[in-house]
Structure 1
Amino acid sequence: MSILADTRVSRRSLLAGAGAFGLASMVNPKVSWSSDGPILKVRSYADIQTLDPCFRLAAPEGDITSVIFAGLVVTTPGDSWGWRPMAAETIKQLDPLTVAFQLRDNIGFTDGYGQMTAEDVKFSIERIADPANKSPYSGDWATLKEVEVKDKLSGLIHLKQAFAPLWTSTLPTPSGTILSKRAITELGGKMGVKPVAQSGPYILKEWLPKQRTVLV
C-alpha cells in the first residue's frame, strides 16, 4: 500500500501553475518563488494555524493540505483549468445530482491508519458540510445531500440540487481532500498543526513556526 508518490508534481509544473500550491497563493503579490536544483522554495505571506482542511483559515494552509492529503481528484498543470483522478480510480457524474467514485486500492494513510476507504470519503465530505462543525468552507458542499457507501472502495455523492462549481472549486480543492475517519475520531474530532494519517504526494517533514515548513 502506498501514498501517492506517482502523483507528485514536478518543480517545473509547480512553476507553470500546478495545483500543488494553490492558485490563490500563486497570484498573491505577497508570495514569492525561487528554485535551487530539485528544491522549490515558496515565501508565503502567513504561517499556518491549522492543517485540518475542514477548519483552514487562509490559502497557505490550503496549499499544504492539498498536497499532504489526497483528494478524489486533483487539478492539472497548465494554462487552462482541468482535473484528473487522484485517489479515485474512476469518478463520473451519472446525472446532475449523482457522482459515482471508485477508490484506488493502493492508497494508504501514514502512521498506521491503513487503507483509504469509502467510509473515509463519506466522513471527510460530510464533516465539512455539517453545519454543526461550523467549517468556514461548508459552502463548498452546500448542496450535498449525503455520501452513500456502496462497498469498501466505492460510493455515490448525492446532491440536493445541481452544483456547477463541484468540479472546479470543491472536489479539486482542500474541501475535497480525504482524511482518515479513525485518525480524526481519535484526535477528538479536530486536527491541529501536526498532521496525522497523511496520504498525499508530499509529507510534512518539519514545521518551525514563523520560520519554515518543509515538505518531502
Structure 2
Amino acid sequence: MRKGECFSVRKLAVLFVLVSVLAFCAPGFAAIKETLTVGMSSDAKSLDPQGTNDTSSSSALIQLYEPLLEIRKDKSMAPVLAESWEQVDPLTYKFKLRKGVKFHNGEELKADDVIFSLHRMTLPSSAPVKTYGDNIDPNGFEKIDDYTLLVRSRVPMTAFLGNLSHSSAYIMNKKAVEEAGKNYGNAPIGTGPFKFVSMVKGDRTVMERFEDYWGEKAKAKTLTFRCIPESNSRVIELETGNVDLIYNVPYTDVKRMQEEKKVDVVLTPGMNITYLGLHTQKKPFDDPRVRKAIGMAIDKEGLNEVVYDGYAVVPQGPFLPKHLYYPSNPEPFKYDPEGAKALLEEAGFPKDYTMTIWTNDRKERIDSATIIQAQLAEVGIQVEVQILEWGTFLERLKSGELASFIIGWAASDANPDPDNWIGGPFHSKNAGPSNRVWLKDAQVDELIDKGKVTPDGPEREAIYTQLWNRINELTAWVYLTTPDFPYAKGKSVKGADDLYRGLINRLDQVYVEQ
C-alpha cells in the first residue's frame, strides 16, 4: 500500500469514529441508564427454582434461569434451551439442546445439566414443586450425547411439555448445585440474561448483565429488585425517581397516577385467584357446610369495589377464563348472609369460636381481611386479623399450622392447560407446599389424575367439568377476587408496555432512556 493510501484509510477510520460519536450524542439517539430498579412488595424467599413456588421468588428466577421451552402469549410453544424436540412414543420425548450456551460460571450447557435439573424435581427435597416433578419418571432419562437426551413421563400425559415451561423446570448447572449444597438458593447459577450478584433479605436483590448470554443481551447493565413492602412507599419511590418500575400498584391510586405526567400505569388481565383458605382437616372448617356458609356471608362484589376500586372480578370456580374447558356460563355464587346463618346453625358452628385470619403484609389482603372480619361478625363469627412477613407466612402455611388465611394462586406463564394450574393447590399429595387448605378428597384426586392423561377432546372436557363442580361443591376455596394487574413505570422506561405475566416477566429488554 502506498503512503497516501494508508493515510487516506486512517483518515476515513477516524472520520467514521467521529461521525459515530456525534450520531450517538445527537438529539433522538438516547443513552441507556446502566441500572434498572424495580420496587417489589416482598423479596425472593429462595433463588433455587425447586426450593420455592411463590411469585416473588419467581420474579427473580425468570431473570437468572431458562427452561427447555416456553409458552408464549399466543399460547404457542417456543424453543429456549432446547433447539428442537419430538415425541418418540407415548411416554418418551427427545430433546436437542442449543450448542454454545454458557452458564454464569462459564461452563457450557450439556445434557448432564438438564438430566440433573429435571431429575432433581422428582426428589423429596423439591417438595414445593412436587406437583410438577411427579409427572417425570425418575428413572426415565437417557443421554444420547452432550446435546441430545430422552426424558420419559410416568404415564402418557397431555400436559407434559407444557409443564416443562414452569419455573420448577429451569435448568441449573449440575456442578454449581452440588458444590453449593443447601446454600444453593443463595448462590444460583443459570443461563439467563442476568447473573446473580447479591441478595440482602428484606432489602434488595442485585443482578448484572451476563455478557456471554447466548441470545440478545440485556439492555441494562444492572437489575436491582428492591423490597418495599408498604404500597404507598413504593408509589412515592417511583414518583420521586428512586425506582423505575413497580408492581402491585394500589388500586385506589390507579386513577390518580394515570393523570400524572411523570409515570405510566398499565393494567393487564389478572392471572391469579385470591382466596380465603380454610384448613379442611381442622375443626370447625372440616365441615363443608361451614366453609360454604362463610363464603355465603362475604359480599365479594362489594369487597372488590372497595379494595380493588372495581378493577377485579369475582372468580366462579377453581381455574381462570384463559384455561381450556372453562365453563361457558358458570353459575355465580350468591351473597346470602341469612342463608349463611341458617347453614352455620345446621352445622352446629360453636358460638364461642374466634376465627383468626392470617395474611401477609400486602395492603389489599389486609383490607380484604378487615372487610371479611366485619361481614362475618354479622352472621355471628368473631374474627381476629393477624399479619405475617411473607417468608414466615409461607412456612407456617406449609406446616399446616394456619387454619384460615388469605393468599393467592398465580399462573407463571400463558399455559392454557388446566393441569398445569389445578394439581398443585387441590391434589392431596401436595397438602402443605401448594395445597394449602389440605384438601384430601378421593374424587378430586382421581379427576386430576385422569385429566393429566386424557387426550384433549370431549372426554377431557367432561373430566374438568366434573372437577370444577366437585371443588365448588366442597368449597375448597372461598374465592375472593381475580384482580387486574396494575404496574407503573417512569415515562423514560422503555420495553415495559406489555408485562402480561403479572409479577413474573423477563426484564432483559426493559431499560431506562436517558
TM-score, normalization by structure 1: 0.71
1:79-102, Cα deviation, whole Å (9 max, x unpaired): x32331111111222333111101
1:75-86 matches, within 5 Å, as 75-76=71-72, 78=73, 80-86=74-80
CA contact (8 A) 2:51 2:185 kept: no
How many correspondences in the alignment? 175
- Aligned AA (2:67): G
Q: Which has the higher contact order (CA 8 A, sep 6+)?
A: 1
Which of 194, 201, 212 is matched with 1:209 structurally? Answer: 201
* Distance in 2 separating the partners of 1:136 and 1:205: 25
* Distance in 2 separating the partners of 1:124 and 1:189: 15
1:120 alignment partner in structure 2: 113
Q: CA deviation at 1:124?
A: 0.5
- Aligned AA (1:188): G
CA contact (8 A) 1:49 1:57 kept: no
* Distance in 2 separating the partners of 1:190 and 1:179: 14
Identity in percent: 26
* Distance in 2 separating the partners of 1:212 and 1:41: 10
1:94 alignment partner in structure 2: 88
Q: CA deviation at 1:153?
A: 1.0
Bigger CA radius of gyration: 2
1:145-174, Cα deviation, whole Å (9 max, x unpaired): 122111111101111202223233x21121
* Distance in 2 separating the partners of 1:172 and 1:179: 14
Residue 174 (1) aligns with residue 167 (2) = yes
Structure 2: segments with no counterpart, 5+ residues: 1-31, 210-514
* Distance in 2 separating the partners of 1:37 and 1:157: 43
Structure 1: segments with no counterpart, 5+ residues: 1-35
Residue 139 (1) aligns with residue 131 (2) = yes
Which of 54, 67, 74 is matched with 1:71 structurally? Answer: 67
2:43 alignment partner in structure 1: 47
* Distance in 2 separating the partners of 1:150 and 1:189: 30
Instruction: Name whichever structure is richer in helix by fraction.
Output: 2
* Distance in 2 separating the partners of 1:149 and 1:43: 42
* Distance in 2 separating the partners of 1:105 and 1:134: 28
* Distance in 2 separating the partners of 1:143 and 1:70: 19
Q: CA deviation at 1:144?
A: 1.4
Instruction: Decide whether aligned partners of structure 1 residues 109 and 152 sit closer, same or farther in structure 2, where only a CA change above 3 A counts.
Output: same
**What secondary structure is seen at the aligned counterpart in 2 of 1:150?**
strand
CA contact (8 A) 2:121 2:169 kept: no
1:48-74, Cα deviation, whole Å (9 max, x unpaired): 121011111411212222231121112
Instruction: Decide whether aligned partners of structure 1 residues 65 and 165 sit closer, same or farther in structure 2, where only a CA change above 3 A counts.
Output: same
* Distance in 1 separating the partners of 2:135 and 2:173: 23
Q: CA deviation at 1:210?
A: 2.4
1:108 alignment partner in structure 2: 102
2:179 alignment partner in structure 1: 186
